[in-house]
Amino acid sequence: MDTLHNLVFVTKNPFNKFNLASDFMEPFRILVDEEVYSLEQSEFSKEHKNILINILNKTVTIDYKQQTVANAIKKYIVVVYLLD
């Protein structure tokens, strides 16, 4: 069970159309990094892909409530969108 805390900077750069996607992804990167690090494999198999996809079903705490990562991403995007 992880708690996500982040300060978000939404970047706007006409030369890089992927900045916004990177901004959305950054708070959740640690979850993927942690899982990949624990695999300790030289080959990336179908099972490894399934493990990474299953990160979306893990739970995190947001505002003292348990949420799946998939739901946390939705909530995060809505908040960032409203702040812009």
> What confidence tens digit (pLDDT) does each residue in 12-65 have?
666 666 666 677 778 888 998 999 888 877 788 899 899 999 999 999 988 899
pTM comes to 0.65
pLDDT of residue 11: 57
Q: Residue 1: which pLDDT band, with cuts at 50, 70 and 90?
A: very low
d(CA 65, CA 18): 31
What amino acid is encoded at 7 in this protein? L
Q: With a cut of 50, say whether residue 78 has pLDDT above it.
A: yes
Number of CB atoms found within 10 A of residue 69's CB:
20
Strand, helix or coil for residue 81: helix
